[in-house]
A and B are shown apart, each in its own frame.
Chain A
Amino acid sequence: MAPMMWSPVLAQAADPGVMHEVTLAHYLFVAVAMFVLGVVGFLTRRNLIIMFLCTELMFQAAGIALIAFGRFYLEYTGQSFVIFVVTVAAAEAAMALALVVLLFRKRESLSAEAWQELKG
């Protein structure tokens, strides 16, 4: 398993002694899963709102990772950072949804393919 031991985090997760505790690895696993879901969703869906939700998913995945690290290393910078992220995300959501509404009004469609203005 030597190649897998490159990270203390994963090593800890593999330690049978603390098997039943919720470790950092669990949090990170959730974060990664959310992030991947977000990426896949963003890449595969065409609906602008879904795509926007997927970006939010990725955002929050990063937030979870930050909080988990902060908690694990007893360092509050990450946690306080997340407060900002959440705030920004909220503002962004308001903006983005408004934009989506505007876009919908223009084309009567929520498909991302309806907008190709950047085509060279």
Chain B
Amino acid sequence: MTTTTDILTLAAAGGIEPGAGLTMLVPVLTLLGTLLCGLCAAFKVKSKLPAWLSVACLAGSFVAIAATYADLGHQQRLAHGFEWINFSYTGTDGQPVTFKANFAFYIDSLTLLWMLFVTGLATLIALYASEYMSHDQGTGYCRFFAAFNLFVFSMACLVMGDNLLLLYLGWEGVGLCSYLLIGYFYTRPSAVAAAKKAFIMNRIGDLGLALGIMLTFVHFGSVEYAVIFEKARPYIDALKAGHLDEIPLVASFIPILLMIGAFGKSAQLPLYVWLPDAMEGPTPVSALIHAATMVTAGVYLIARTYPLFLLSDVALPIVGWVGASTALLAATIGMAQFDIKRIMAYSTVSQLGYMFAGLAVLSPVGGASHVFTHAFFKAMLFLSCGAVMHGFAGQLDLRKLSGLFRMPGWKVVSVAMLVGCLNLAGFPLITAGYWSKDIILAEAFVNMPGVGWVLLITAGLTAYYTFRVFFRVFMGPTHYEPGDEVHGHDAHGHGDAHGHDHGHAHHDDPHGHGPAVTATAHDPHAGHDFHPHAPGWAINTVLAVLALASFAIVPLMLTGEHHGWAGGMVEHSSAAYHTVGTSGYLEAAHGHGPHDHGHTHGHDHDHDHGQAHGTFLGMDPHKVMYYVSGVVGLLGIAAAFWLHLAGRTSAASSRADALVPAMGPLAGWARGKWFVDEFYDALIVKPLWVISHIFHVIDTLIVDGLVNLVGWVPRALGGVLRPSQSGQLHGYAAGMAGGLALLLIIVLWVTLR
């Protein structure tokens, strides 16, 4: 394994290293894609040209990354682009200090792991979107693909940047693209509001990240990973020697600040509320940005700066508990929703919680593996939901769709959905999701058993709500009602600005806009004349490829020495920094150190040093968790089967409805998303709004009033003297004569005295 010292020498040498130069193609190609799509918009191209350009650029990026991986394997390289924010000044000791944040890439296996699935999925989803967005051909189409390419560019900066500031550029860049794409249907106020909410919520996190970057620079004198990791080495050594108390307090603030950024971007408590709303965007966007890639940026940040997170004895426990609580909370909300896309959104939040918990329990391998598998199956789930939405005129209510599996033309979608659901539910042995989830669960029970239990319960709930969707929508008696897109199209066609009160309405389907539909376009009960529109070749191809890929990565999960291929990628990066050198030294450090919080015991499977660690009901978690998590997943699926499929005769109701009264208010609260949005609104937004108005009043009345008062004083004084100006010539003359006389008298009096 290349040590960070090698990286330092590379950094000193500068320039593009052999093997890493190809990665520069990614920003170049994606920017080119953005530019070309922009030109298409300028020239009002009406064809699918922007889509094909994007697919070509993104595929090129994927090939570049794949070639880099083939070349580098687990090695590390730097690729230098140009100098960005790079300035020198005189430091405390009179020596020049340089703040160096260049446009340069740090390529290691963690980077490559992320970039492989980012560019790969982006290519596939662009292909999918070429069909999905086809109703918007014209400027909207160009705008979509321009933002899409820009997103991949930003993601490349985020993941490949060799310093925290370039990561920040990508971080805010993906935020911008997310803003533009959530608000893609900009005539809908709800989409605009959701886009704004996403950006602002992310900004809150970004502030934490920005302060974290500043603190990193102040403390380590650099924002470049290679330098930071090298400077953090004494701290890790102190940790190794069991002197956690030697690590300065300041250093332990860094992970806490960075963590805030990660929580914002990856939709964790308390900043998760933007993600479900982000489903206002077109489904390909939800699949790529809000499920597979952008939201995992927080996981990437923590994995990338993992050495820093080890410096604090509270940072990782906070991450763990935040992740676990988010996972559970989102799962409970997901159970009670009816909008299948929102359910998937909450499941994303929940799974992200898993990944954070995985990171926190000293298993970045588990966290990153789960990111990897999740990217595939969650993208697939979203794309399947999108296909359903596309075909049924925006219908997403699982009470209004049923038995799609048996409808002609829906086989590929149904199978893809099934594969995705099996993965998400953690169906034993054959799914990648099972294996990656298992790593997290096992490590959780070893290091933070409390978190482990929460995650295990969540796993059961996840299996339940996942298959609730599948059994309701794809199995059972065939029945469907179209969504309100039937109206939406009509309105759209006339450029009308009436917002749809239904939050997830999309202008999706020009083909479903057939004669039968048009004839009844203004009839709210147009369902019976509605002909669903089965997906075309592009959508089906993409879904099939994803379904195959999600199986293809199963062997990848099982090969290699460290939890499969993805795990190996993580093990060879800075995320596994804590295992460098003596195996399990952290165990010793935390086991005997003064700050033993009982959470950082051991790592990985080589824990046979006889140290006390968490168990699962007295058994070794690593040995039993395979069975336990498999059983829990199957139990969840069984519950969903019993409640939502067995004996179900209509789309609208199922056996589960009978259980709702028994749950008391809980069901209502879960359906109301625990009223977190309302809570924030009442606690933060409204007061701030009131304060702003108060400030505005203060500004006009007091601040400006004082100024006006100052202006008023001379005027008032003038008013007092005003009557003396009579305007009569004789008055002035008499005044003059009198004044002269007075002067004379004074002179006489003074001289004759």
Contacts and interface: CB of A to CB of B under 8 A. Distances in A.
Given A3-B752, A6-B752, A119 B734 contact: no
A99 B727 CA distance: 18
Contacts of B724: 120
B733 A117 contact: no
Contacts of B721: 120
B726 interface: yes
Given A3-B752, A120-B722, A120-B723, A43 B737 contact: yes
Contacts of A119: 725-728
Given A3-B752, A6-B752, A118 B725 contact: yes
Given A6-B752, A120-B722, A39 B737 contact: yes
Contact of A116 (B722, B728, B737): B728
A84 B728 CA distance: 31
Interface string B703-734: 00000000000000000011111111110011
Contacts of A69: none
A67 to B, nearest CB: 23
Contact of A115 (B722, B725, B729, B733): B729
B752 A113 contact: no
A112 interface: yes
Given A3-B752, A6-B752, A118 B733 contact: no
B734 A43 contact: yes
Nearest to B723: A120
Nearest to A116: B727
Contacts of B730: 43, 46, 112-113
A43 B723 CA distance: 20
Contacts of A113: 728-730
A23 B155 CA distance: 110
A117 B726 CA distance: 9
Interface in B730-753: 730, 733-734, 737, 752
A42 B11 CA distance: 97
A100 B689 CA distance: 67
Give the residue among B724, B725, B730, B737 with the most A Cβ atoms within 10 A: B730
A119 B732 CA distance: 11
Contacts of B729: 51, 112-113, 115
Contacts of B722: 120
Nearest to B748: A6
Given A3-B752, A6-B752, A118 B727 contact: yes
B303 to A, nearest CB: 79
Interface string A74-108: 00000000000000000000000000000000000
A38 to B, nearest CB: 11
Contacts of B727: 115-120
Contacts of B725: 118-120
Given A3-B752, A6-B752, A43 B726 contact: no
A32 to B, nearest CB: 12
Contacts, number: 34
Nearest to A113: B728
Interface residues of A, number: 15
A39 B730 CA distance: 11
Contacts of B723: 120
B752 A43 contact: no
Give the residue among A3, A6, A42, A51 with the most B Cβ atoms within 10 A: A42
A119 B724 CA distance: 9
Contacts of A115: 727, 729
B133 to A, nearest CB: 74
Contacts of B728: 112-113, 116, 119
Interface in B425-481: none
B438 to A, nearest CB: 93
B683 to A, nearest CB: 58
Given A3-B752, A6-B752, A42 B733 contact: yes
A3 B753 CA distance: 11
Contacts of A51: 729
Interface string A1-27: 001001000000000000000000000
A43 to B, nearest CB: 6
A3 B751 CA distance: 12
Contacts of A3: 752
A3 B727 CA distance: 42
Given A3-B752, A6-B752, A116 B733 contact: no
Nearest to B741: A39
A120 B724 CA distance: 8
A3 to B, nearest CB: 7
A6 B737 CA distance: 25
A119 B730 CA distance: 13
Contacts of A43: 730, 733-734, 737
Contacts of B726: 116, 119
Nearest to B728: A116
A30 B721 CA distance: 40
Contacts of A46: 730
A12 to B, nearest CB: 20
Contacts of A120: 721-725, 727
Give the residue among B724, B725, B727, B734 with the most A Cβ atoms within 10 A: B727
Contacts of A39: 737
B106 to A, nearest CB: 78
A49 to B, nearest CB: 13
A9 B621 CA distance: 130
A120 B718 CA distance: 9
A42 B729 CA distance: 10
Interface in B145-203: none
Contacts of B737: 39, 43
A6 B748 CA distance: 11
Nearest to B734: A43
Contacts of A117: 727
A112 B730 CA distance: 8
A51 B734 CA distance: 13
B483 to A, nearest CB: 76
Nearest to A6: B752
B688 to A, nearest CB: 50
Interface string B547-569: 00000000000000000000000
B728 to A, nearest CB: 6
A116 B726 CA distance: 7
A8 to B, nearest CB: 15
A39 B734 CA distance: 9
B499 to A, nearest CB: 60
B750 to A, nearest CB: 13
Contacts of A42: 733
A51 B728 CA distance: 13
* In the complex, the 5 A-B pairs of residues with the closest C-beta atoms, listed nearest first: A119-B727, A116-B727, A120-B725, A120-B722, A112-B729
Given A112-B729, A119-B726, 8 more contacts: A46-B730, A51-B729, A112-B730, A115-B727, A115-B729, A116-B726, A117-B727, A120-B721
27 contacts: A3-B752, A6-B752, A42-B733, A43-B730, A43-B733, A43-B734, A43-B737, A51-B729, A112-B729, A113-B728, A113-B729, A113-B730, A115-B727, A115-B729, A116-B726, A117-B727, A118-B725, A118-B727, A119-B725, A119-B726, A119-B727, A119-B728, A120-B721, A120-B722, A120-B723, A120-B724, A120-B727
